[in-house]
Amino acid sequence: MASTRLKRMEESATIRIANIANRLNKQGADVISFSLGEPDFDTPKHICDAASKAMFDGATHYAPSMGIPELRKTIAEKLCTENRLDVTEDNILVTPGAKQAIFEIMMSVLDDNDEAILFDPAWVSYDPCVKFAGANSVWVPTDPDNGFMPEDVSEYITPKTRIIVVNSPCNPTGGVYDRDVLKQIADVAIDNDLFVLSDEIYEKIIYEREHVSIGSMDGMEERTITVNGFSKAYAMTGWRLGYACAPPEILKGLLKIHSHSVSSATTFAQYGGVAALTGDQEPVSEMVREFRTRRDILLDGLNSLGIRCKKPDGAFYAFADVSDYGTGDEVAEEMLSKAHVAVTPGSAFGESGKDFIRISYATSQSRIHEALERIESIL
């Protein structure tokens, strides 16, 4: 009895692996989970305090559908200052997580049989969102030896193309697009009158590189829809708080879907978002320093085991080539069943990921060391 659109989509591989790991844990197994993209840090106290105060001050009723004015203004100021976007609060829609913003964008921009450009490998939920809108994904290969940068994007543009999805830093690869790469993508978008969805949820989790927003480039102001949120940078995954920044005509479409589906983001959580952006940023810096240390421990360990892995420049994922030991699906299954280490097979992120696994190093250094020992025991 399922609808046709549901038959076009597959379940989330990351959620599926996490559920299997949880089931094994309940059965008494000690599973080390590298599957979910969730920081293992607590939300900073000043953010919790702000939300708690708002709750007890009565912010428990419906919020304006676009978001509370205080948060929208703060987000716009942040985007102007940090991302060099020329926007105001009228360009901002606050959503229950960045994923909801992405879903609303696909439903607003795409018609049946339109095409969306995805860079392979890409985050698991882009393609299902495209399919739910009745459109089709066109996968553009990336070069693993060059930090998984896309090449020859223009060759994949057709009369049906409507939007290009950019995710930098990237999930699952940790790749960071430099200004030259973004300029090439921007030129393609301008030449072909396309929208760009720029998913910047990992912008603050970046190591030796600089984050650049494609919406700040010449000619991109009216065709870029920037998506961001609080889950990754501020360890607020459970708060479900994100936002989209879009040109006015696009924002009107997003708001139609938004108001008829989720109504608004949680009211008191939005006051926590204000505190996150305006308060002390040192907890973010501390978290990024710890992620960098974990990254280096993991990569040293993987490479010493003969598992090839390029150093990610952002996010908290290692995309490791396991082709010497089997496909990504085979190795992920072996790791989970024999070593009780849960990773995500790279095939979940696109065809080019079939020889890879994604390892989320959002777990403690001691668990990373232990996981490496377990992996060594089964190789």
- Digit-coded pLDDT (tens) for 216-247: 999 999 999 999 999 999 999 999 999 999 99
Architecture of the 61-278 domain: 3-Layer(aba) Sandwich (3.40)
The two three-digit tokens of residue 345, written as one number: 């097979």
Burial 15-46 (b: 16+ CB within 10 A, else e): eebbebbeebeeeeeebbbbbbbbbbeebbee
Residue extents of the structural domains in the chain: 4-43+282-378, 61-278
Q: Does domain 4-43+282-378 have CATH number 3.90.1150.10?
A: yes
pLDDT at 87: 97
Nearest Cα neighbor of 120 from 78, 151, 93 is 151
Compute how many other C-beta atoms are within 10 angstroms of the C-beta atom of residue 288: 17
Instruction: Tell me how crowded residue 61 is: count the other CB atoms within 10 A of its CB.
Output: 7
Same fold, 4-43+282-378 and 61-278: no
What is the chain's pLDDT, residue by residue, as a tens digit (379 residues)?
Answer: 678 777 777 776 667 777 777 788 788 889 999 988 899 999 999 999 999 999 999 999 999 999 999 999 999 999 999 999 999 999 999 999 999 999 999 999 999 999 999 999 999 999 999 999 999 999 999 999 888 999 899 999 999 999 999 999 999 999 999 999 999 999 999 999 999 999 999 999 999 899 999 999 999 999 999 999 999 999 999 999 999 999 999 999 999 999 999 999 999 999 999 999 999 999 999 999 999 999 999 999 999 999 999 999 999 999 999 999 999 999 998 999 899 999 999 999 999 999 999 999 999 999 999 999 999 999 8
Stated length of the chain = 379
pLDDT at 13: 67
The DSSP letter of residue 336 is I
Quick one: 354 exposed, middle or buried, by C-beta within 10 A (0-12, 13-18, 19+)?
middle
Between the CA atoms of 331, 332, 336 and 338, what dihedral angle is there, to the nearest 10 degrees? 0
Q: Let me know: does 312 contact 171? Beta carbons within 8 Å.
A: no
What is the pLDDT at residue 1?
66
Tell me the three state secondary structure of residue 215. helix
User: How far apart are the C-alpha atoms of 196 and 30, rounded to whole Å?
Assistant: 43
Helix, strand, or coil here: 309?
strand
Calpha distance 303→284 (Å, rounded) = 28
Of the candidates 247, 251, 332, 239, the residue with the CA atom closest to the CA atom of residue 38: 239
How much is the pLDDT for 26? 84
Cα separation, 61 vs 90, in Å, equals 22
Mean pLDDT of the chain: 94
pLDDT 10s digits, 55-109: 999 999 999 999 999 999 999 999 999 999 999 999 999 999 999 999 999 999 9
